C-alpha cells in the first residue's frame, strides 16, 4: 500500500498516514511558468495498491479545478507506472452539488467528474459526507466508499447533551436523511430520545425561499446539521427559525467548512452556541474571532 498526499492536502494526508502508522509515499510536483504542472511518484509503485489524498476545495492559492486536475493527472501517472489499483481519496469532493439539471441544458457536472476519474484509470473513490449520496453513487460507477460524518458529530455532541432535551434540525428537506443519521447516532449514544425538525428551503436563480418549519424545538438544544457551509446563509436562516420557535440553544454541525464570502456573519450573528466542522477543508478563510469560535473535529 502507498499513500500519497498532494500539495495543499499534505497536512491532512500526514494525519491519515500517522493514524495508519505508515510514512507518506514520495512524489514530486513541479509548477511551470505557463501554469501547467507535472507530478510523478518518486518510488516504484508497480503492483501497489496506491491511495492519493487530495481534498478538492478551492481558494487556498488555487482553485477546485486546479486540484481536480492535479489529482487526475497524478492518478493517471500512477496507473501508467504500473500501480495495480489507484484509489482517489477526496475528503471534500468538488462539484458534488451539481448533480442534476435544474435548468434547460444544465451540465450534470458530478457525472463529468466521475467520467474523468474513470478515464485516467481511478479504480476506487473515497469521500466524506457528499451532498447527495444517491446522486454520487449514480455518477461514480467505480467502487466507492462514502464515510458519513454522523458518528463524528454524535460523539462530539453526546457528552454535551447528557441531560437536556435535544433536537436535530435539517435546514432543508434534501438534508433530512443526513440529519436523521445524526439524530439516531446521538440518541443511541446518549441513551435518551432526540427529536427531529426540518425547514423548507428552495433555491432558484440564487434566491432562497421557504418558511415552513416542522418539528418542536421549544426549550430544546437544537443542532442544525448540513453537509457544508459556504456563505453560511442556509444555517443562518435555520438558526433564526429555531430561535423564533423557542430553541433554548443552537449549535451547527457541517461536514465541510468552505466559509466563502460572508460566512463571518454566522459567527457575528450571536445565534450559535457552537459551530462544528470536520477537517476536510482547512478554515483558511476565517480569521480572528470567527476562527477562534470554530470547532474543527
Ligand atoms: C445545499 O443544498 C447544501 O446542502 C447546503 O445547504 C448549502 O450548499 C450551503 O450553502 P450556504 O452556506 O451558502 O447556504
Can you tell me the distance from the alpha carbon of 127 to that of 96, in angstroms, rounded to the nearest whole number?
Answer: 11
pLDDT tens for each residue of 34-77 = 999 999 999 999 999 999 999 999 998 999 999 999 999 999 99
Q: Which residues line ligand 1 (CB under 6 A)?
A: 97, 131, 171-172, 174-175, 226-234
pLDDT at 243: 97
- Pairing relationship of beta strands 249-257 and 221-229 according to DSSP bridges: parallel
For residue 234, the CA-to-ligand 1 centroid distance in Å is: 6
For residue 83, the CA-to-ligand 1 centroid distance in Å is: 37
DSSP-assigned beta bridge partners for residue 85: 49
Residue ranges in the chain whose pLDDT is less than 50: none
pLDDT tens for each residue of 214-229 = 999 999 999 999 999 9
Can you tell me the distance from the alpha carbon of 140 to that of 44, in angstroms, rounded to the nearest whole number?
Answer: 28
Cell numbers given for 67: 486540484
pLDDT at 261: 81
Q: Which pairs from 113-116 meet CB under 8 Å and 24+ separation? A: 113/68, 113/139, 114/139, 114/140, 114/141, 114/142, 116/68, 116/72
Mean pLDDT, the chain, integer: 95
Cβ atoms of 92 and 112 within 8 Å: the answer is: no
For residue 226, the CA-to-ligand 1 centroid distance in Å is: 7
Per-residue burial over 252-266, b = 16 or more CB atoms within 10 Å of its CB, e = otherwise: bbbbbbbbeeebbeb
Q: Which domains does the chain have, with CATH numbers?
A: 2-147 (3.40.50.2020), 150-296 (3.40.50.2020)
DSSP-assigned beta bridge partners for residue 89: 53, 126
Ligand 1 atom with the smallest distance to the CA of 174 is 2
Q: Any idea what the Cα angle at residue 199 is, between residues 195 and 202, rounded to 5°?
A: 155
Ligand 1 atom with the smallest distance to the CA of 232 is 12
Specify the pTM: 0.95
Amino acid at each position: 500500500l502507498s499513500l500519497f498526499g498532494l500539495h495543499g492536502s499534505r497536512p491532512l494526508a500526514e494525519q491519515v498516514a500517522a493514524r495508519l502508522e505508515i510514512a507518506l509515499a514520495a512524489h514530486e510536483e513541479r509548477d511551470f511558468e505557463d501554469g501547467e504542472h507535472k507530478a510523478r511518484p518518486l518510488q516504484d509503485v508497480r503492483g501497489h495498491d496506491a491511495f492519493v489524498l487530495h481534498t478538492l476545495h478551492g481558494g487556498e492559492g488555487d482553485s477546485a479545478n486546479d486540484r481536480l486536475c492535479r489529482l487526475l493527472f497524478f492518478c493517471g501517472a500512477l496507473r501508467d507506472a504500473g500501480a495495480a489499483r489507484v484509489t482517489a481519496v477526496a475528503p471534500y469532493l468538488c462539484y458534488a452539488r451539481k448533480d442534476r439539471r435544474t435548468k434547460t441544458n444544465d451540465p450534470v457536472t458530478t457525472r463529468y467528474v466521475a467520467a474523468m476519474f474513470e478515464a485516467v484509470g481511478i479504480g476506487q473513490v473515497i469521500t466524506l459526507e457528499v451532498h447527495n449520496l444517491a446522486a454520487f453513487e449514480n455518477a461514480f460507477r467505480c467502487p466507492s466508499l462514502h464515510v458519513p460524518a454522523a458518528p463524528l458529530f454524535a460523539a462530539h455532541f453526546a457528552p454535551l447533551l447528557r441531560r437536556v432535551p435535544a433536537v436535530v434540525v435539517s435546514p432543508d428537506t434534501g438534508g433530512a436523511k443526513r440529519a436523521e443519521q445524526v439524530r439516531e447516532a446521538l440518541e443511541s449514544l446518549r441513551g435518551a430520545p432526540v427529536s427531529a425538525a426540518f425547514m423548507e428551503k428552495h433555491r432558484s436563480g440564487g434566491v432562497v425561499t421557504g418558511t415552513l418549519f416542522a418539528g418542536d424545538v421549544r426549550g430544546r438544544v437544537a443542532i442544525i446539521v448540513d453537509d457544508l457551509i459556504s456563505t453560511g446563509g442556509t444555517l443562518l436562516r435555520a438558526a433564526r427559525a429555531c430561535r423564533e420557535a423557542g430553541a433554548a440553544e443552537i449549535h451547527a454541525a457541517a461536514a465541510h467548512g468552505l466559509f466563502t464570502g460572508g460566512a463571518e456573519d454566522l459567527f457575528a450573528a450571536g445565534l450559535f452556541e457552537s459551530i462544528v466542522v470536520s477537517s476536510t477543508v482547512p478554515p483558511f478563510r476565517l480569521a480572528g474571532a470567527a476562527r477562534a469560535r470554530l470547532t474543527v473535529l
